[in-house]
């Protein structure tokens, strides 16, 4: 696979990072909607991910987006009962989806532990939801999909853990090694809760744009390794690539192990849209 151009943007602090990412997301959604009418975003959990959604809600420019015509999916979910405050989808609803009035039929959450018997069932159900949306979209829009099992993802947001995990794909685990499937059930995640559902790396990499939002000193090693070209099995964040753009949106602390030479070679913040 030819790597898409990387853009690395370094912000002074986490507050500036999330405010700028929120503004970028709003602009991107306005652009996509003006071309195609509707847009699709894949959300992430985690500190930066949820703070970014809060910043979208707080941004006065949010009204430029037609939120009734944005489809939402998740890169990963924690397999927990409905109502558990650790659910990525619940946090996203509270931070952005509910305040902005996103209609229920645009929100494609992973089944909770009340709705699916096992984490494997939840992963299979999520794959089925994705495939159904892809089939409907292909019928309506009539375009040739990159992967017929997946809808088109305009922007896919990711956080990065201190161990360089993305979504629920942890280093050296079966999840990050999974090929040939769109979703994967995770049973022994090193970060609680142990049971999770994730898009696979090959699904993540069908997105037009992948944005990795990272803040903090504890993430600096992961960012440094990922941008130095580490292997994706050891450093999952290194394997996340958008088809037209991969944006690393980071704060100064997370950038502290990024060599100037590497930063210069990745600093091609070109705007290339495929639509």
Ligand X SMILES: O=C1O[C@H](COP(=O)(O)O)[C@@H](O)[C@H](O)[C@H]1O
Nearer of residues 38 and 184 to ligand X, judged by Cβ: 184
Residue 239 engages ligand X in binding (rule: CB under 6 A): no
DSSP secondary structure letters along the chain: -PPPPEEEEEESSHHHHHHHHHHHHHHHHHHHHHHHS-EEEEE--SHHHHHHHHHHHH-GGGGGS-GGGEEEEESEEE---TT-TT-HHHHHIIIIITTTT--GGGB-PPP-TTT-SSHHHHHHHHHHHHHHHHHHHHHHH----SSTTS---SEEEEE--TT--BTTB-TTSHHHH--S-SEEEES--SSSSS-EEEE-HHHHTTSSEEEEEE-SGGGHHHHHHHHTT--TTT-GGGG---SSEEEEEEETTTTTT--HHHHHHH---------
* Member of 191, 194, 259, 269 binding ligand X (CB under 6 A): 191
* Member of 7, 151, 161, 239 binding ligand X (CB under 6 A): 161
Residue 89 engages ligand X in binding (rule: CB under 6 A): no
Stretch that binds ligand X, among 118-126, 141-149, 157-165, 247-255 (CB under 6 A): 157-165
Site string (26-55) toward ligand X, x via CB under 6 A: ------------------xxxxxx------
Give the torsion through C-alpha atoms of 97, 103, 109, 111, to 10 deg: 130
Cβ atoms of residues 193 and 78 within 8 Å: yes
Nearer of residues 40 and 91 to ligand X, judged by Cβ: 91
Residue 251 engages ligand X in binding (rule: CB under 6 A): no
Cβ atoms of residues 17 and 48 within 8 Å: yes
Residue 76 engages ligand X in binding (rule: CB under 6 A): yes
Name the token pair of 262: 């590497």
* Shortest CB 195 distance to ligand X, Å: 12
Nearer of residues 45 and 224 to ligand X, judged by Cβ: 45
Nearer of residues 123 and 137 to ligand X, judged by Cβ: 123
Residue 4 engages ligand X in binding (rule: CB under 6 A): no
* Shortest CB 78 distance to ligand X, Å: 6
* Member of 52, 88, 112, 173 binding ligand X (CB under 6 A): 88
Among residue numbers 133 through 152, which ones bind ligand X (CB under 6 A)? Answer: none
* Member of 159, 224, 236, 239 binding ligand X (CB under 6 A): 159
Site string (192-231) toward ligand X, x via CB under 6 A: ----------------------------------------
Query: Minimal CB distance to ligand X: which residue?
Result: 46
Name the token pair of 172: 């050296």
* Shortest CB 265 distance to ligand X, Å: 25
* Shortest CB 215 distance to ligand X, Å: 8
Name the token pair of 210: 């992948």
Say how far residue 76 (Cα) sits from the centre of its chain: 8
- What is the binding site for ligand X (CB under 6 A)? 44-49, 76, 78, 88, 158-159, 161, 167-168, 191
């Amino acid at each position: 696979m030819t790597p898409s151009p990387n853009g690395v943007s370094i912000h002074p602090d986490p507050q500036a990072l999330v405010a700028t990412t929120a503004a970028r997301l709003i602009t991107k959604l306005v652009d996509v909607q003006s071309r195609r009418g509707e847009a699709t975003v894949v959300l992430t959990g985690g500190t930066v991910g949820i703070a970014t959604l809060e910043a979208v809600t707080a941004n006065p420019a949010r009204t430029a987006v037609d939120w009734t015509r944005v489809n939402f999916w998740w890169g990963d979910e924690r397999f927990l009962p409905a109502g558990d405050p650790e659910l990525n989808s619940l946090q996203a609803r509270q931070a952005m989806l509910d305040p902005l009035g996103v209609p229920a039929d645009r929100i494609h959450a992973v089944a909770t532990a009340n709705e699916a018997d096992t984490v494997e069932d939840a992963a299979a159900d999520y794959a089925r939801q994705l495939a159904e949306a892809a089939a409907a979209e292909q019928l309506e829009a009539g375009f040739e999909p990159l992967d017929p099992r997946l809808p088109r993802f305009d922007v896919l947001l990711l956080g990065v853990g201190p161990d360089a995990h993305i979504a629920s794909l942890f280093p050296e685990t079966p999840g990050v090694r999974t090929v040939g499937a769109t979703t994967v059930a995770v049973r022994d995640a090193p970060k609680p809760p142990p049971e999770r559902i994730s898009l696979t790396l090959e699904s993540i990499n069908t997105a037009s744009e992948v944005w990795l939002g990272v803040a903090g000193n504890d993430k600096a090693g992961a960012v440094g390794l990922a941008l130095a070209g580490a292997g994706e099995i050891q450093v999952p964040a290194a394997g996340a690539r958008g088809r037209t753009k991969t944006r690393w949106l980071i704060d100064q602390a997370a950038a502290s192990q990024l060599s100037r030479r590497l930063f210069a070679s990745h600093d091609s913040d070109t705007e290339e849209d495929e639509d």
